[in-house]
Structures are given as structure tokens and as C-alpha cells.
Amino acid sequence: MPLLEIKDLRVHFATEDGLVKAVDGVSYEVERGQTLGIVGESGSGKSVSSLTVMGLTRAPNAHISGQILFDGQDLLMASDDELRRIRGNDIAMIFQDPLSSLHPFYKVGKQIAEAVRTHNHDVSKAQAWDRAVEMLGLVGIPEPRKRADAYPHEFSGGMRQRAMIAMALSNNPKLLIADEPTTALDVTVQAQILELIDRLQSEFDAAVVIITHDLGVVAETADDIAVMYAGRIVEKARADTIFHGPEHPYTWGLLGSIPRLDTARDEELVPIPGRPPSLINLPTGCSFHPRCPYVRDAHRRVEPELAPAGDDPSHRVACLLDHRTRQSVWADLRSGRTPEEARRLEVDRRDAGLDPAVARAEDGA
């Protein structure tokens, strides 16, 4: 049984402007000892889905449906008290901005000790303090006994993020959710933190969900990657597949948008045209269709399901193009063709009737 299993999660917020469909039918699972990377841009719903796991989106205007099974228990059904016991104990979260997630008035050691004592009432203050010092040492803060006695403002950005991680791990959580854990940090510090999460994960055999917009970060840390767009997962696969055999046009777009250190320098970037849709007024059919170079008429009406991409059952994609078309377009893109050229080749192939399956799907739609 997976440690965390999310089934058809929907999180909608009623606002004055209309119903915001922040998360709209997301399903995924994470096993013990595994890292799932969730990639997406602002407004893709990647943070809201994980905040919901923590029960942090419960609000009068939030409509939440679906299932969040953690160790077999449905967290959406859990009472606030039950959630409070799980949160910070079995499931811990690291936030993006370490300065605003630490209380400025309390010493760092005290804040970690408090996290320990909240969940273990029989631990004395002194024991909790020792645990805080031990955790600070574990995450690589020099002179932990002395630093536990310092206030958050006396820490550098990287040290604060370490302190957050120390706090998150102080109760040996089974699941760690890291929401953009390194976005606010410099690259060398980012490398330290990623290495730390990696090491601690193997030590504690925790499951990790890492949420980020940085494809490099997931490439280095994640076993599986889910790509989110407009509140849904559009593609999910092993990390290697996402980078070497992706089948969703949005994933292609993301990969084409980033300058890379491992390709020729003058390689032209291919941005995704347009911008992410409003979550209040999602496009009909495939929500990526207004930005998709390979869109066909039917795609504006039919909503794609997240379905197996080909023979590999771990690779799922929500795209109305068929598997063979997607493979040949990706091959074209990979060989350096622009999306425009790839689109024309694809149309040519279709017109030439080389792809009867596609023609049939088109007629049927």
C-alpha cells in the first residue's frame, strides 16, 4: 500500500469573482522511501494540493472533495484534532520562505523543542531542548548547542532553511512535503539543502514530495515526476522519462523554455506562447489547448483523461493526440526542429494518411 494516496482531489474556492478551481481532479501516490517531484508554474495548483494534504486549506469558502489516504486513513474525513496530531508528527512540511515560517520572538532551539513537545507530552523541556540541539547538528549547523540559543534573525537564509528542516524532521515524519524548499536560496546553498534532504530521506526512509518550478531540482532529486497545469496533472512518469521521452506538449514547452548547461550555448529558447489560464474561467476541452501548437478542433471540446501513454504503465499523460503522433513530434523537437516545424510535419504525416489511428479519432470526435 502506498504511504500517501490521493484520489480525484478537487479543491475549489468560492470567491467574489467566481469559483476558483485551484485543484481539479488530481490523483497520485507516494511510496515509502520515494521522492515525488511536482512541477508546475504559478497557479498550477501544485502548492494547494499539498497544503490540502496537511489540512491547511480548510476554510468556509473551500469545497474539497476526493480522498487523501495517508497510511490508509482518509485525511479529508479527519477531525481538526486528529489532523493536528498528524501534522508535524507523521507528516511534516518545509515551506519556501524560512524567515516568515520561523517565529521572530522565540529562540530557534525553543521552536524546535516546542514541535517535539507538542507531539510527545512525556518529554521534558530539557530533553526536548537536547533533541533540538541534536537535530540542528544533524542538519549541519555548526556549534548546534550555541546556535539553538539564537534567534531566527541571527541565522543566514541557508541556516534558517536548515532549522526548518530540523524542525520538520524532529518527530521522524513518515512523509515530508517540501514546497519550493530552495527557491529563496543561492545555488551553493541550494546544493547543500538538496543533499541534506537526500541524505535524511535515506536515513529515515521517509517519503518526500518536493514541489518546485525548477526542472533541475526535480531532475536531481525525484524518482517520479508529476507535471501540473491549471489544477491538473497533465503528465506523470519516472524522472528519466519526463526528460527523455515526455509526451505532453506542455512538458515539451517547459523543457524548451529553459536554457541548459548541457546543450550548445546558442540554442534558441522556445517559449510557450500565451500565459496560464484563469482558474475561474478554464478553457473548454483540454485546458492547454489555447497554448498548444498541435491543437486540433476536437481538443477544444473533449477533456483529456490522464491515461497510460504507451506500454510503460508508470507513464501517464493527459493528451488527446495519440501515442505515435506524440512520439514522432517529440522526436522532431528533439532533433532541433521548432514547434512550428514539428507541427507542419505532423500535419503532413496526417494528410498523407500515415497515421490512420489519428484520422479515425478525429472523425469520431
CB of 254 to other proteins, least distance (A): 6
Positive or negative, the CA dihedral 282, 288, 292, 296 is: negative
Closest CA to 290 of 307, 272, 308, 305: 272
| C-alpha cell read off for 304 | 483529456
- Contacting positions for other proteins (CB under 8 A): 41-42, 142, 156-159, 186-192, 194-195, 213-217, 219-220, 239-240, 243-244, 253-263, 265-272, 275-276
Please state whether beta strands 175-179 and 91-94 pair in parallel, antiparallel, or not at all (unpaired). Answer: parallel
CB of 142 to other proteins, least distance (A): 7
Using the structure block, give the residue that is written with the C-alpha cell 486549506: 57
Residue type, 256: G
CB of 132 to other proteins, least distance (A): 21
Give dist(CA 117, CA 124) in Å, integer: 8
CB of 145 to other proteins, least distance (A): 18
Please state whether beta strands 316-317 and 307-308 pair in parallel, antiparallel, or not at all (unpaired). Answer: antiparallel
Q: Report the residue number, 142 or 313, with the smaller CB distance to other proteins.
A: 142
- The secondary structure of residue 273, as a DSSP letter, is S
Q: Report the residue number, 68 or 329, with the smaller CB distance to other proteins.
A: 329
Contact 257, 270 (CB under 8 A): yes
Give dist(CA 94, CA 200) in Å, integer: 14
Q: Report the residue number, 219 or 361, with the smaller CB distance to other proteins.
A: 219
Residue 5 has a CB neighbour count (10 Å cut-off) of: 18
Give dist(CA 145, CA 137) in Å, integer: 8
CB of 190 to other proteins, least distance (A): 7
CB of 345 to other proteins, least distance (A): 18
Q: Report the residue number, 240 or 312, with the smaller CB distance to other proteins.
A: 240
Q: Report the residue number, 147 or 174, with the smaller CB distance to other proteins.
A: 147
Q: Report the residue number, 39 or 306, with the smaller CB distance to other proteins.
A: 39
CB of 192 to other proteins, least distance (A): 6
| C-alpha cell read off for 230 | 491549471
| C-alpha cell read off for 2 | 502506498
Q: Report the residue number, 29 or 220, with the smaller CB distance to other proteins.
A: 220
